[in-house]
Chain A
């Protein structure tokens, strides 16, 4: 086994667009669940809207890249409003089922052949990069060092992703320490009490759903930036990976999602490199197919999710007292 290569491949994930994207989308979940107490299991749907909103506006309507970004955000806002109207009055577990169903509806519609002209159905969309890349301020060349060696395009994608992440962190940090955030956290604790104090609980929950959803769409946009948009990416499993990240880092924290995403991807990348290597050397009994080895990682994700929720529900950065699993 080439440990140098494994280390290199793993560390590259520190600045991968997906790492950044998952951090942004998970920050949205932190707004929903950690601060607002909303059990959103449809974050994959918001991400799909961000990605498709971008790709479709560029490919079909010839929008510039920033126009596509805005379309994705607006789509997420509209989706949040439509989703929130019937579901925000529901109990937490009903909300979870409703949101996961709504996200599946979104994915199935993108995957359907009905809108093939716009979505290219199951094959997904690609080739929308020109506008974004032409806005690249970095001259062509090679940047960085070691595992972090990038072309100008790679660098631009990462820098823009980090700018979005920074903005998202700033907004969430500012708004959560304001009186607005206080109301939202109050709703998480007991919405009737907050209602009795004269706050329009429904409106706040809607704002929370929209804010977190927009962050989800931005995450979807960053996922789409370097690659393609394929409906099979936005399965409910994606939402559950984000939840694992959220609970790993700490649900009611600002930096939990960033730390969680970093750890998640580093571990996944490390295992993706190590497991097939182990498999081919025959060091794991019963495992000799390298491609099968990769699937072992998801078993570990499942086990990790169980262990975190059962034994450290506040996550790495969270405060034991401020864990957010109220039975409501």
Chain B
């Protein structure tokens, strides 16, 4: 199960946000180091004698680590190198066709930094070229000392955070489904829209974030309003079936995504201060300020939405329409008005979720919403399509599942568990946890 020479992403102990950073770092390192010739430094061994060179770049959280010892062994040859100030190392070896064992000495890492389990030693060989890159995945904490309970607690907190922001998006999706019957695939683009607007106002126009984020959320709501006026209401009036509406939302999603790509390009952008250090709270629970604000905002907004649904006239009307649209219409509820409010609210919530997710990932991309669309759908179906509180419950379950499953599963398939559960739930309880059996007809 191990192809020599390929750095490997089997990481189990670290929070997800670091992981994505590391992925980025490693891929960047791979691509860069093959093209950019490193300057001659004391961190090179045997590069003059031999033509075949292993190289790497030891970094943690984007900061290079110096004085880390790396040994290369194979074919009767061995060498030892210490990383330079820039974290780089290069070792020349005599034989291209040999397999070498490359080891990073964990003792030489700074305190609190470790190599991912089982990956301190790697097997490496050369491909077609005379250079090969070997990188190690570094993480936070001391593996042997980090108790399982602490890892689990970290994952659960992350999962809750992720679940709450999923809930912001999925409640909107669920309300829109409940009131209009549309499985709105373009909801993902509302998530992205919120993040992009925060980027535009907070970074490009350099507004302070506490102004930029509300602007982003309001603009997302207005975008929802524009969609209802320009597209969805006319389509409803044409009497299109739910399947047609769903495919239209797919077309909209596709079009919007490429509009974003067109204007913003394919890169990853950061909001100001994406990652801040984690603060030890109760027991094993650690959270950064950003995490705390994010969870606080999610919770407050969700409680607000719940209050609105239960207590206000429009909220009650919304639930009545979800329950039975023709009955609601006949009892004098202005369905069009409520649907319009739901489009605004749902889009604004999705936009907010996009902003929070931009901090959580961290980073903003043109297709970031699309990446979690299926998780949003999974959450909504899990809780019961069209039930707002089901969407909340489903989101938290999905968020926890995605995060906690990385304790056992490689992180590159962490979404697989949630999607599989979605299919399994459809098998045993298609109406979802809080849905009613009759709904599914």
CA distance A325 to B248 in the complex (A): 12
Q: Which residues from chain B contact A117 at a C-beta distance below 8 Å? A: 1-3
CA distance A112 to B411 in the complex (A): 9
B426 to A108, Cβ gap below 8 A? no
B413 to A299, Cβ gap below 8 A? no
The interface-forming segment of A16-24, A97-105, A151-159 is A97-105
- Chain B residues 397-422 with CB under 8 Å of chain A are 410, 412-413, 415-416, 419-420, 422
Q: Does A303 contact B (CB under 8 A)?
A: yes
For B259, give the chain A residue with the smallest CB separation.
Answer: A299
Q: Does B113 contact A (CB under 8 A)?
A: no
Number of residues from B at the complex interface, CB < 8 A: 52
For B420, give the chain A residue with the smallest CB separation.
Answer: A105
- Chain B residues 1-20 with CB under 8 Å of chain A are 1-3, 6, 8-10
Q: Does B440 contact A (CB under 8 A)?
A: yes
CA distance A174 to B235 in the complex (A): 37
Partner of B10, one of A94, A113, A120, A240: A113
Say whether, besides A93-B246, A105-B416, A301 and B377 are in contact (CB < 8 Å): no
Interface size class of A (residues with CB under 8 A): 35 or more
Q: Does A163 contact B (CB under 8 A)?
A: no
B377 to A296, Cβ gap below 8 A? no
A100 to B374, Cβ gap below 8 A? yes
For A92, give the chain B residue with the smallest CB separation.
Answer: B243
A-B contacts at CB below 8 angstroms, number: 153
CA distance A109 to B416 in the complex (A): 8
B440 to A114, Cβ gap below 8 A? no
Q: Which residues from chain B contact A304 at a C-beta distance below 8 Å? A: 251
The interface-forming segment of A70-78, A82-90, A266-274 is A82-90
0/1 string, B40-70, CB within 8 A of A gives 1: 0000000000000000000000000000000
Given contacts A98-B426, A310-B238, 18 further A-B pairs with CB under 8 A are: A86-B423, A86-B424, A91-B440, A93-B242, A97-B377, A100-B374, A101-B423, A104-B419, A112-B410, A113-B9, A113-B10, A113-B412, A117-B1, A117-B3, A247-B247, A300-B255, A302-B258, A327-B243
For A123, give the chain B residue with the smallest CB separation.
Answer: B6
CA distance A89 to B381 in the complex (A): 15
Sorted nearest first, the 8 A-B pairs with minimum C-beta distance are: A302-B255, A305-B251, A86-B427, A302-B254, A306-B251, A327-B241, A298-B258, A101-B419
Say whether, besides A94-B381, A296-B258, A298-B258, A325 and B251 are in contact (CB < 8 Å): no
Q: DSSP class of A's interface residues: helix, strand, loop or mixed?
A: helix
Partner of A240, one of B231, B241, B250, B259: B250
Q: Does A131 contact B (CB under 8 A)?
A: no
Q: Does B261 contact A (CB under 8 A)?
A: yes
CA distance A109 to B427 in the complex (A): 21
CA distance A164 to B8 in the complex (A): 39
Partner of B377, one of A85, A101, A298, A305: A101
Q: Which residues from chain A contact B385 at a C-beta distance below 8 Å? A: 94
0/1 string, B223-239, CB within 8 A of A gives 1: 00000000100010010
For A303, give the chain B residue with the smallest CB separation.
Answer: B255
CA distance A300 to B262 in the complex (A): 12
Residue from B235, B265, B423 with most neighbouring chain A CB atoms (10 Å): B423
- Chain B residues 240-297 with CB under 8 Å of chain A are 240-244, 246-248, 250-259, 261-262, 265
Q: Does B441 contact A (CB under 8 A)?
A: yes
* CB of B226 to closest CB in A, whole Å: 15
A309 to B440, Cβ gap below 8 A? no
Say whether, besides A93-B242, A94-B381, A102-B423, A243 and B247 are in contact (CB < 8 Å): yes
A240 to B254, Cβ gap below 8 A? yes
B419 to A105, Cβ gap below 8 A? yes
For B186, give the chain A residue with the smallest CB separation.
Answer: A302
A96 to B183, Cβ gap below 8 A? yes
A295 to B258, Cβ gap below 8 A? yes
B247 to A305, Cβ gap below 8 A? yes
A111 to B440, Cβ gap below 8 A? no
B426 to A86, Cβ gap below 8 A? yes
CA distance A243 to B246 in the complex (A): 12
